[in-house]
Amino acid sequence: MKLTRLIAAALTAVCIFTLTSCKQEDTQTTANDYPVHVADTVVDHRPKKVVSLAPALTDTLFQLQIAGRVVAISDYCDLPAQPGDLEYYEYPRAGTQQLPDIDAIKELGADLVLMTAQPTDAVALELQQANIDFVVIPPASDLEGVRQNYVDLFRLLYGEETGAKMAEEYLVPFDHKLAEIQSCLDAAGEKNISTVYVAGDLLQIATGDSFEGYILELLGTQNWGADYTNYSYPQEKEVDLNPDVIFYNGMISGETIAASSCYKTTNAGKAGAIYEIDPENLERQSPDLLDTLWTMGKLLYPESFVHNEPGQPWESSPASMGYIPDEEDTAEPETTEPENPDEAESQTSSEEESSSAA
């Protein structure tokens, strides 16, 4: 499966970006921005305080650099924010998707809760009774869905028209990176490489219904688990396994895989083509996913993936992704003490005088 349909969207996005990039970003809502419809939910106003109960969405909000209105995050959020932003541990915690801290969410005055899975009926009712919108953005099954999830986050936070426009500007470099990957895959040609992605135990591999399985096929390989589901490869089929390349997520070691009866006599086992891949980028589907896609491509086709995208750093930081937020999206979380403007001005003046004296 190729990235052609996604790359075609870049042509439209480039046009929009060219027309708007020469003027300052206007993130004020318009009369047509709300209500916003996402899945089965209608948000009728611009949210002021957001709680993210899913690590995947928290990561994405920070990498898109639109986390300024986030006032609390999930107990499971464990990664640092982008350089220059507050670390995740400085944010209030609001429980988990399974057991959200409704009292904390109410006390923070949140008016939007983001999740990746449906809450229980009891939780949904309590949020509704508190007039708190909740939106479920489930993990995508392919990159088109990943891209749409990004667009939906912009729409929720900035409105139908303004948010969609901002999303397309952000997605210009995103699509460029996908185009670079496709160019490298085209240069590699047909290699007939077979793969597995070990996601747990030795026969717990990426199957045809998994996002990792989709990625293996996207990279032009034959996935040994393609005909199966639920990360389960049949024990009786173990003798047939003969991948050329093995990717694994680190839940068991590469040494264990290499020494196992499943894989030690395979082409990958004999060649030592067993590579650990950080699973979080695949699982959380934030923009850092492109780094993993590139890494896997380079391991499969080193002669084709020989450089980063021309003229741009590969790292998926907000700066390299091309989006500069408005002022409200650089705000600190709700628990931070408000700075006294007079004291701040006095401090700034003192610092300037000291600097001049030096």
Question: How far is Cα 47 from Cα 51, in angstroms, rounded to an integer?
Answer: 10
Residue 350 covered by a domain: no
Structure confidence at residue 256 (pLDDT): 98
Domain match, 149 and 194 both: no
CA distances for 309 relative to 2, 143, 176, 216, angstroms: 18, 19, 8, 21
Instruction: Report the C-alpha gap between 130 and 135 in whole angstroms.
Output: 15
- For strands 222-223 and 133-136, give the pairing: unpaired
Q: Is-cis flag, bond preceding 35, omega within 30?
A: yes
Residues 110 and 228 in one domain: no
CA atoms within 13 A on the CB side of 356: 6
Number of residues that make up the chain: 358
Same domain, 57 and 160: yes
249: domain CATH number? 3.40.50.1980
Of 220, 250, 277, the residue that ends a domain is 277
Q: Which residues of 220-249 are buried (b: 16+ CB within 10 A; e: fewer)?
A: bbebbbbebeebebeeeeeeebebbbbbbb
Residues 176 and 194 in one domain: no
Give the pLDDT score at 357: 43
Indicate whether 292 belongs to any domain. no
Contact yes or no for 152/91 (Cβ under 8 A): no
Here the contacts of 72-80 (C-beta below 8 Å, separation 24 or greater) are: 72/104, 72/105, 72/108, 72/110, 72/333, 72/334, 77/52, 79/55, 79/280
Same domain? For 93 and 197 the reply is: no
Whether 30 and 165 share a structural domain: yes
The answer to whether residue 48 sits within a structural domain is yes
Q: Does 301 reside within a domain? A: no
Assigned domain for 86 exists: yes
Q: Say whether both 217 and 166 belong to one domain.
A: no
- From 212, 219, 153, 227, select the one nearest 185 (Cα to Cα): 219
**Consecutive sets of 10 residues in the chain, 358 residues long: mean pLDDT of each?**
57 43 49 91 96 96 91 86 60 95 98 97 96 98 97 97 93 87 93 96 98 98 98 97 98 98 98 96 92 95 76 39 46 49 47 44
Residues 170 and 198 in one domain: no
> Same structural domain for residues 68 and 121?
yes
How many domains, the chain?
2
Q: Is residue 196 domain-shared with residue 141, that is, in the same domain?
A: no
Domain that holds residue 137: 4-180+315-323
Q: Do 176 and 201 fall into the same domain?
A: no
Residue 337 lies in a domain: no
Are the CB atoms for 292 and 281 separated by under 8 Å?
yes
Q: Kindly report the CA angle at 70 between 321 and 339, in degrees rounded to 5?
A: 105
* Residue 345 belongs to some domain of the structure: no
Nearest Cα neighbor of 61 from 21, 123, 113, 117 is: 113
Return the pLDDT at 30: 74
Q: Which residues contact 272 (CB under 8 A, 6 or more apart)?
A: 258
User: Is residue 289, in this structure, part of any structural domain at all?
Assistant: no
The Cα 65–Cα 80 span in angstroms is 13
User: 111 and 229 share a domain?
Assistant: no
